[in-house]
């Protein structure tokens, strides 16, 4: 048998002819088509998240006014709402948290998320300010940046508040993009 010869034999040198070029071109085109169809079908699905929008923000009942300390220090409350997560629709699930405090006859609401990189900021009662445990951003009681060395580009995100039926605190809960000086809804 000439099996061994076959493995040793060198390929015939390709001769450039019109027929040969046609073959090469069609082989390349067909090869590209069969490869691209599954790839594209996958990419369409991969890009699906770009079609999805964040849930519209709405006013949610967060706390009772009576629950807020009279001295104006803030208190943390969970924000509970119905939530859609891909295929799941869950009624009344925690979707975030806010600090609420009395401020001159009004109620101020701050999103607990640090506008620097999105960590959960702590309230420090001793210094009456907020501190981010990740990169040491510090914020005043009002939510403003309290020190020039703070890495956060803006103060804590204030949320719209409404008082309903005298004592219910409703907050328009929203998250904003971190890392920017401007407050843009996420």
Partner 1 sequence: MNSLFAWLDHRTGYKKFLHEALYENVPGGSRWRYVWGSTLTFTLAVQFITGIFLWMAYSPSSQTAWESVYYIQHEMAGGWLLRGIHHFTAQAMNVLLVLHLMQVLIDGAYKAPREVNYWFGFFLLLLVLALSLTGYLLPWDQKGYWATKVATNIMAITPLIGSQLQRLIIGGPNYGHHTLTRFFALHAGVLPALIVVLVIAHIYLFRRHGLTAREPKRRPDCAFWPDQVLKDAVACLAVLAAVLFLILKPRLFGHEPGAELGAPADASEPYSAARPEWYFLFLFQFLKYFPGGTEVWGAIVIPTLILGVLFFIPFLGQWKLGHRFNLGFMFALFAGVGLLTWLALAADRREPEYQVAVESAERDAERIKQLAKAEGIPLSGAASLLRADPFTQGPRLFARNCASCHRYGGQDGLGKVPTETLVVKSGETLTQIAQAKGVDEKDLIVLNHLSDGRVAAGQVLKIQPHPAASDLKGFASREWLSGLIDPAHIDGPNYFGYSKFKEGKMVKFVKKDVANYSVEQKEKLKKVIAALSGEAQLKSQRAADEHTAPLLTEGKALLASDEMRCTECHSFYKKDEDATAPDLTGYGSREWLVGFITNPAHERYYGKRNDRMQKFGADKILDAQAIGLLADWLRGDWYEPEKISATR
Strand partners, 164: 168
Each residue 5-34 as x (binds partner 1 by CB under 8 A) or -, in order, gives -xx-xxxx-x-----x--xx-xxx-xx-xx
Nearest partner of 79 among 55, 103, 102, judged by Cα: 55
CA distance 132 to 114: 7
> How crowded is residue 115: how many other Cβ atoms within 10 Å of its Cβ?
25
The least CB distance from residue 93 to partner 1, in Å, is: 9
**Count residues contacting partner 1 (CB under 8 A)?**
37
Binds partner 1 by CB under 8 A, chosen from 78, 84, 124, 180: 84
Instruction: Compute the Cα dihedral for 181, 102, 119, 144 and give only its sign.
Output: positive
The two tokens of residue 89 are 């629709």
Contact between 56 and partner 1 by CB under 8 A: the answer reads no
Binds partner 1 by CB under 8 A, chosen from 66, 88, 92, 184: 88
Site residues, partner 1 (CB under 8 A): 3, 6-7, 9-12, 14, 20, 23-24, 26-28, 30-31, 33-35, 37-39, 41-48, 51, 84, 86-90
């Amino acid at each position: 048998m000439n099996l061994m010869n076959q493995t040793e034999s060198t390929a015939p040198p390709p001769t450039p002819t019109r027929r040969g070029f046609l073959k090469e071109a069609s082989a390349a085109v067909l090869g590209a088509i069969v490869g691209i169809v599954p790839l594209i079908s996958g990419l369409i699905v991969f890009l699906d998240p770009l079609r999805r929008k964040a849930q519209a923000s709405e006013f949610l009942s967060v706390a009772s006014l009576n629950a807020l300390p009279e001295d104006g220090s803030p208190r943390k409350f969970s924000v509970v709402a119905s939530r859609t997560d891909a295929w799941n629709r869950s009624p009344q699930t925690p979707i975030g948290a806010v600090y609420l405090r009395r401020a001159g006859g009004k109620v101020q609401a701050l999103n607990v998320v640090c506008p620097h990189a999105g960590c959960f900021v702590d309230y420090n009662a001793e210094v009456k300010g907020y501190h981010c445990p990740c990169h040491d951003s510090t914020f005043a009681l009002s939510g403003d940046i309290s020190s020039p060395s703070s890495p956060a580009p803006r103060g804590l995100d204030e949320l719209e508040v409404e008082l309903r039926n005298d004592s219910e605190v409703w907050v328009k809960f929203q998250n904003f993009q971190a890392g920017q000086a401007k407050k843009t809804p996420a």
